[in-house]
Chain A
């Protein structure tokens, strides 16, 4: 008996016996608050989970934050290291590609949609996603920027299983499209929109745009994909910069854009909202833990069916999984095929699909051994550290702003004292305060030795 069957039956049994709403409940009025408070307590990721508890209380996990930071570090490294190598004709930020979801039927204008140009969808629909992909002139991804919260979640999940930086643009588009579909951010009434601009000219951009379209359509079968070539004016508009810029300069600026998470973090820290940033980060991390849990279950389910198939076919029979799909050449009972494909879909929803039998066995062993206690410990430590960093940061900010004032007073005082001691000559000749202090110290030592009779 499969786990899935047990779960279905248990749910069906409770469906049958769960009572309907009683008159007592129907007649109870909803007690609305008399006065809405002017300042509602808002978490940065309202409505996506988390809890109505103080931000530091719940245990969190480090891995997703570490994964996001690793991606950032890798992206920075990928930008900085190549810059030090003088490769002929090599450009770090050669092409800029945006990927968004949009209503199907929107006119096919060549435009670049920056991360601030998204409008929230009507309630009930999936949120829009927005990615910006920067690639070098060798077609390798240098950086992927998440334009909003949902995009950051997709990136965090993807980054844990594979590094997007360094992939070819086609591979990155495939991975992002697959993940977007698997997480439900793309639906059949929407279109996936891409826009491309390249420093190497319109023809290159057109070729890239065509490849992207093919890749996205392959990743999301039946999807409506629009892939257009953008222009310099649109890129400049989306970056919000005015003045004369060359295309290369604009592409370099585009590559320096911050992702939604970075931007939120900087903004919140600058405004003293370290706590809000922490809450936002912790919710993202919690969602990542949920993803790991879903993966553990999905792989257990898939392996169970795989086991059954192998039992029927014999363990030395042909491969069950080929390129992430059920081998079409094996002869199986229809029910078993459906079970396997259902289980595979469950894995896809967790953004990870094994491609071969060996990969399935490996991933199943890995995820079934996942130690959630350890993750929880790490998350608690991370939480404590982030809280301490946040507190220390605030302390340093306060101390530095205090110190600047104190140092100025001290230099003014030393200057006045020197003026007095030197008979009004003043501190001219000592433009460097350190030099002045050194001379004063030597003078003091001489005076002291005189006092000691040396």
Chain B
């Protein structure tokens, strides 16, 4: 869905339109979930945080000013994801409760997700985020640069590099 339509639904949602919210959810869920997953690496955590994101969207929609709605939503997702990661890194576990690696105990079915597996295998976290935001979320490099607070040239270069790495890995896997 293009930005104009999405913003139009956001305006309707501001007036309490649940149907508009449902449309917004369907249009943005993949981008939001994939981005949170690229930060947390854990499916269950990403699912939980994704739902929290939309709860926050419903709670705070009145504070959204006209502008880029999808960027607003993804910023909420980012804040929640990074807050979780910070909290998780401060937790101390006893021997009985071994920590899951970043990647979690709930793993994506690798056989049916070869590209996502490749993303996790070969890309650095920053590269994975940029690729996922652009390819899955549909965000422009300029928007990603604002979100991750990096120069747009860096984002573009990182993206191209990451795609090249992914491609090389997938082609090598296909040869096997």
**Residues of chain A at the chain B interface (Cβ within 8 Å):** 1, 3, 6-7, 9-11, 13-19, 21-22, 24-25, 28-33, 40-43, 46-53, 58-59, 123-124, 286, 289-290, 293, 296, 371-376
A123–B7 Cα distance when bound, in Å, is: 12
B residues 34-93 touching A (CB-CB < 8 Å)? 34, 43, 47, 50-51, 54-55, 58-62, 64-68, 71-72
Given contacts A3-B163, A46-B66, contact A10 B60 (CB under 8 A): no
Q: State whether A58 touches B146 (Cβ < 8 A).
A: yes
Contacts of B151 in A (CB 8 A): 372-373, 376
Shortest beta-carbon distance from B72 to chain A in Å: 6
A381–B171 Cα distance when bound, in Å, is: 43
Contacts of A31 in B (CB 8 A): 58-62
Q: State whether B33 touches A14 (Cβ < 8 A).
A: yes
Shortest beta-carbon distance from B120 to chain A in Å: 12
B8 within 8 A of A: yes
Contacts of A374 in B (CB 8 A): 153
* The one of A13, A29, A40, A50 that contacts B115, using a Cβ cutoff of 8 Å: A13
B102 within 8 A of A: no
Contacts of A18 in B (CB 8 A): 29-30, 33-34
Q: State whether B167 touches A6 (Cβ < 8 A).
A: yes
Which chain B residue lies CB-closest to A374?
B153
Q: State whether A290 touches B115 (Cβ < 8 A).
A: no
Q: State whether B21 touches A10 (Cβ < 8 A).
A: no
**Residues of chain B at the chain A interface (Cβ within 8 Å):** 3-5, 7-8, 11, 13-18, 21-22, 25, 29-30, 33-34, 43, 47, 50-51, 54-55, 58-62, 64-68, 71-72, 108, 112-116, 119, 132, 135-136, 140-142, 145-146, 151-156, 163, 166-167, 170-171, 174
Shortest beta-carbon distance from B15 to chain A in Å: 6
- Compute the total of residue contacts between A and B using a CB distance below 8 Å: 154
* The one of A9, A25, A30 that contacts B51, using a Cβ cutoff of 8 Å: A25
**Of B50, B112, B152, which is in contact with the most chain A CB atoms at under 10 Å from its CB?**
B152
Given contacts A19-B33, A24-B51, contact A30 B16 (CB under 8 A): yes
Q: State whether B33 touches A33 (Cβ < 8 A).
A: no
A17–B110 Cα distance when bound, in Å, is: 12
Q: A3-B163, A16-B112, A373-B151 given. 18 additional CB < 8 A pairs? A: A14-B30, A14-B116, A18-B29, A19-B33, A21-B25, A25-B51, A28-B59, A31-B60, A42-B66, A47-B7, A49-B3, A51-B68, A51-B72, A52-B64, A123-B8, A372-B142, A373-B153, A376-B145
Given contacts A19-B50, A29-B58, A43-B67, contact A373 B30 (CB under 8 A): no
Contacts of B7 in A (CB 8 A): 46-48
Q: State whether B30 touches A11 (Cβ < 8 A).
A: yes
A3–B116 Cα distance when bound, in Å, is: 14
A10–B68 Cα distance when bound, in Å, is: 25
Q: State whether A21 touches B14 (Cβ < 8 A).
A: no
Shortest beta-carbon distance from A239 to chain B in Å: 31
Q: List 9 A-B contacts (CB under 8 A).
A: A10-B135, A11-B135, A17-B33, A19-B47, A32-B16, A50-B67, A290-B140, A373-B153, A375-B152
